[in-house]
Structure 1
Amino acid sequence: MKSSGTDHQVIWLQPEAPPKPKAGQNCNGCGVCCAASPCPVSRIFLWQWRGRCRALEWHAEVRQYRCGMLLRPAHYLLLLPYRGEPLFQRWVRRSIAADVACDSSAELH
C-alpha cells in the first residue's frame, strides 16, 4: 500500500502542558516528542519501538513533561546500580539533548 504522505497520529497530553515550540526553539517540556515516539534511549533500554514512551512523566507542580530515564533511571532500569545513576543520567542528558532545543518536527492540528 502506498503512503499518501499525510500520516496522522493521535497523542494525548495534559491540557495544562505548554504548547509545542517550533523546531529549534527552546525545549519547554511540552511532551510532544516523547508522546509521539520513543527516543533512541527508550529503544535501547526499554525495548520500545513505537508509541508513547513509557518513561514520559507528567510533573503537575511545574506543568511540564519530563524524561523518567533522565530523572530516575533506576525506576525504569531495575538492574542499574545506584552508583551508576549519575553517569547514566549524564549520558541520557547528552543523548536526548535534554532542555536544549525542540527537535520534533511534529505538526499539531
Structure 2
Amino acid sequence: MQIIHLHPLAPTKPAVGAVCNGCGVCCAAEPCPVGVLISRKRRGRCAALVWDEAQHRYWCGMLLEPARYLPVNWPWLNRRISRWAQRSIAAGIGCDSDCVVATELDA
C-alpha cells in the first residue's frame, strides 16, 4: 500500500476513462514518462505536479511552465515541449489511473 498526500481541496479521483478533473492522484503516486525525465525518479510524487489554488485542482507543470523545470528558457522551445508533454501524458483523453483511493475518513 502506498500513501500519498494531496491538498484537502483536491477533487475526488474520477473513474478510469472519465475526464481528468485535476485530482492529482496519478502524478502523486508515480511520475509519467515525462515526469520520470523531470523528477529523475521512477517512483513517488512527480516534481512537476502543481497545485492551482484558484481552481482547486492539480496541473502538470510541464504543460503550464516548462521553463521552470528545464535548464534553458527559450520561449519557442517551451511551447514545443508543452505540446509534446500534452501528447505524452494524453492530456484531455481521460483518467488512466487505476489507483484505489482511501481517505483518512475511510481509515
TM-score normalised to the size of structure 1? 0.88
Q: Any stretches of 5+ residues in structure 2 without a counterpart? A: 103-107
Q: Give CA deviations for 1:7-59 in whole Å, capped at 9, x if unaligned.
A: x1000001111000010011000000000001100112432221100110000
Looking at CA atoms only, which structure, 1 or 2, has the larger radius of gyration?
1
Partner of 2:54: 61
State the superposition RMSD in angstroms. 1.1
Alignment of 1:1-109 (within 5 A): 8-109=1-102
Give the whole-Å Cα distance in 2 for the aligned partners of 1:61 and 1:95. 26
TM-score normalised to the size of structure 2? 0.89
Q: Any stretches of 5+ residues in structure 1 without a counterpart? A: 1-7
Give the whole-Å Cα distance in 1 for the aligned partners of 2:38 and 2:56. 26
Q: CA deviation at 1:91?
A: 0.7
Give the whole-Å Cα distance in 1 for the aligned partners of 2:58 and 2:93. 14
Q: CA deviation at 1:69?
A: 1.1
Q: Percent identity?
A: 49
Give the whole-Å Cα distance in 2 for the aligned partners of 1:98 and 1:104. 13
* Count of paired positions: 102
